[in-house]
């Protein structure tokens, strides 16, 4: 059965060295969800400018609905200059005071949220009061939806208060190992290892699952029961890692919401992220069958030491 999944937040252009690509964690995530066959809806805002018009055209090209994308008459569409290092790891400069900072609450949005099986959100779209209030009101009126928090810490775009409030709302948390250790100081955690910090977060905020990505070394999923599952990374030819974490999130949630175990969901998400890292940008088409075949055939793995 197809699941209804909403993604609230940033719709922007990544300004890569090779040209601009439509992106933002929210957009990358919901593109994959839709590609896997679920009903994915993006809630965001663009400017009344050339970048905004091109973004709407690109969404249609990618097979995504645009009727929940608002248009701001004054603020510009979001852009993010991206520099890639020799390993394809991106360094982002996120432009502030853009359209997605001012997403307005609508009745249509609340109606859609009331039917949702899952709502995806992060911290970037909560850096402004307007979008933060809209998100919090929407989440408060969706009791049945799984709340998936991709914490996505970006320089100067989050606060300890926003992080804490988001964790209190979330059912499932996704973050990478660097973000996990950053949280230790930001919200006063005491653990010293990935497992200790993950279990502490789950216990403190009553999370059902925590998905922790480790770059080339794979990912963990940790359950509210205390169980910890690890899946090694894949040795691949990395083109760039833009969107690979978002793809991992999408793969995990697609499997999880459709009745697969956390272990199966982790394996599918991890493989999805690896294959996206082997492509340019975050919205290259990779079919579900390709991912499953890759999981079964690719034996060259990288484990944590």
pLDDT at res. 88: 65
pLDDT at res. 247: 96
Backbone φ and ψ of 206, nearest 5°: 55, 45
The residues that bridge with 292 in the sheet, in sequence order, are none
**Taking the domain 4-300, which CATH number applies?**
3.40.1190.20
Instruction: Please name the residues in contact with 120: beta carbons below 8 A apart, sequence gap of 6 or more.
Output: 5, 6, 7, 8, 9, 26, 29, 30, 148, 150, 249, 253
Instruction: Please name the residues in contact with 192: beta carbons below 8 A apart, sequence gap of 6 or more.
Output: none
Q: Are strands 146-150 and 118-122 parallel, antiparallel or unpaired?
A: parallel
How many helices and strands, by DSSP H and E, does the chain display?
10, 15
Hey, what are 63's tokens? 């097979």
Instruction: Please name the residues in contact with 235: beta carbons below 8 A apart, sequence gap of 6 or more.
Output: 216, 300, 301, 302
If you search the block for the tokens 């999805």, which residue do you land on?
Answer: 272
How far is 32 from 95, CA to CA, in rounded Å? 25
Cross-sheet strand order for the sheet of 118-122: 69-72, 39-47, 4-8, 118-122, 146-150, 172-176, 209-213, 219-223, 228-231
- Angle ∠(145,253,83) on CA atoms, nearest 5: 115
pLDDT at res. 94: 85
Hey, what are 189's tokens? 């955690």
Domain spans of the chain, in order of start: 4-300
pTM: 0.94
pLDDT at res. 136: 95
pLDDT at res. 226: 77
- Please identify every stretch of the chain with a pLDDT value under 50, giving residue numbers as ranges: none
pLDDT at res. 75: 97
Cβ–Cβ < 8 Å for 25, 122? yes
């Amino acid at each position: 059965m197809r699941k209804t999944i909403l993604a609230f937040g940033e719709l922007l252009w990544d300004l890569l060295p090779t040209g601009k690509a439509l992106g933002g964690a929210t957009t990358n995530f919901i593109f994959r969800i839709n590609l896997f066959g679920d009903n994915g809806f993006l809630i965001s805002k663009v400017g009344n400018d050339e970048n905004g018009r091109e973004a709407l055209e690109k969404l249609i090209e990618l097979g995504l609905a645009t009727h929940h994308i608002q248009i701001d008459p004054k603020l510009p569409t979001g852009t993010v200059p991206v520099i890639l290092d020799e390993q394809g790891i991106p360094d982002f400069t996120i432009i502030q005071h853009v359209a997605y900072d001012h997403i307005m609450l609508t009745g249509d949005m609340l109606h859609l949220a009331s039917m949702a099986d899952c709502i995806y959100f992060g911290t970037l779209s909560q850096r402004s009061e307007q979008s933060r209030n809209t998100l919090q009101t929407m989440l408060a009126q969706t009791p049945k939806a799984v709340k998936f928090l991709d914490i996505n810490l970006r320089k100067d775009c989050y606060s300890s208060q926003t992080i804490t409030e988001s964790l209190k709302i979330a059912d499932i948390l996704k973050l990478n190992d660097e973000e996990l250790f950053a949280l230790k100081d930001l919200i006063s955690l005491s653990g010293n290892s990935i497992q200790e910090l993950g279990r502490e977060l789950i216990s403190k905020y009553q999370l059902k699952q925590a998905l922790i990505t480790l770059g080339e070394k794979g990912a963990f999923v940790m359950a509210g029961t205390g169980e910890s599952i690890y899946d090694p990374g894949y040795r691949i030819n990395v083109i760039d890692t833009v969107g690979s974490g978002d793809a991992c999130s999408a793969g995990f949630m697609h499997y999880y919401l459709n009745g697969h175990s956390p272990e199966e969901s982790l394996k599918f998400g991890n493989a999805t992220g690896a294959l996206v890292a082997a492509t340019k940008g975050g919205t290259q088409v990779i079919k579900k069958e390709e991912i499953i075949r890759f999981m079964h055939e690719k034996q060259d793995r990288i484990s944590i030491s």
